[in-house]
């Protein structure tokens, strides 16, 4: 069923989920920042297997591959369109033999354990209880592994933004889509219209999970927190995120 520029998908768990039409181009500024932080400070010595949960079009995997030349990398994403782009990009990469892609619901992917699990602003949109998602991350983590993720923090800014998104969602129409794109074009003249149109859908997304709830749940499951730091905000329409690093 079509919903004003997006579509409603059904995960294998039977949960209805709204996803954008077409592929989602990653923000290069965010990817470079996140990739550098992972490779320089948060990867485990001797990292051999890396999993990117919500890998999108594969940009982060392709950024990390030359930074971590001895690692094999895997990515999973629910969007078929994202996976088509990712497969094309990986196929032309000199690192293609070290990158594997899975299309579908992360909770149904079983590919062994990983030394490093990363998730760049994806965990908050997975429509399952936070305990279920946290248990899956712990299950997939190697005995000496680390989880590095960015998620919206619990703060007043995000409470207001989430409320505004609920309001937009309740009255969504082609007019509100155009209004969001118009405001975004004025705030971000450095980006193309196509790039901004790709992100209109996300102004209707209401955050399901926050960094604090994910972190405390993972701690209850036996992980310990190594670092928490604010993530650079690239847009007024983007929730404020924390980057969190945890390990066994």
Between CA 34 and CA 9, with CA 15 as vertex, the angle to 5 degrees is 75
* pLDDT the model gives residue 228: 96
* pLDDT the model gives residue 26: 63
Indicate the burial class of 8 (C-beta count within 10 angstroms; 0-12, 13-18, 19 or more). exposed
Please compute Rg for the chain using Cα positions.
18
- Per-residue model confidence as pLDDT tens digits over 53-70: 999 999 999 999 999 999
Task: Give the count of beta carbons closer than 10 Å to the beta carbon of residue 126.
Answer: 24
How far is Cα 105 from Cα 179, in angstroms, rounded to an integer?
32
Which residues of the chain are modeled with pLDDT < 70? 1-27
* pLDDT the model gives residue 17: 39
Task: Give the count of beta carbons closer than 10 Å to the beta carbon of residue 29.
Answer: 10
């Amino acid at each position: 069923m079509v919903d004003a520029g997006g579509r409603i998908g059904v995960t294998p768990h039977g949960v209805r989920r709204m996803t954008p039409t077409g592929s989602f181009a990653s923000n290069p500024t965010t990817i470079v920042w996140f990739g550098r932080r992972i490779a320089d400070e948060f990867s485990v010595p001797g990292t051999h297997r890396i999993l990117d949960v919500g890998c999108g079009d594969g940009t982060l995997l392709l950024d990390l591959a030359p930074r971590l030349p001895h690692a094999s990398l895997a990515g999973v994403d629910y969007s078929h369109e994202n996976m088509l782009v990712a497969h094309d990009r990986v196929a032309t990469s000199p690192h293609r033999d070290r990158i594997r892609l899975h299309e579908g619901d992360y909770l149904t992917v079983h590919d062994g354990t990983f030394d490093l699990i990363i998730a760049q602003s994806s965990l908050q949109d997975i429509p399952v209880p936070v305990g279920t998602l946290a248990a899956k991350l712990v299950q997939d983590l190697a005995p000496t592994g680390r989880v590095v993720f960015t998620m919206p923090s619990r703060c007043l800014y995000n409470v207001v933004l989430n409320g505004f998104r609920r309001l937009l969602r309740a009255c969504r129409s082609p007019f509100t889509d155009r209004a969001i794109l118009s405001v975004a074009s004025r705030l971000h003249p450095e980006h193309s219209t196509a790039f901004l149109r790709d992100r209109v859908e996300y102004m209707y997304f209401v955050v399901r999970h926050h960094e604090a709830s994910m972190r405390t749940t993972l701690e209850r499951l036996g992980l310990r927190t190594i670092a928490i730091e604010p993530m650079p905000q690239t847009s007024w329409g983007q929730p404020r995120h924390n980057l969190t690093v945890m390990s066994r």
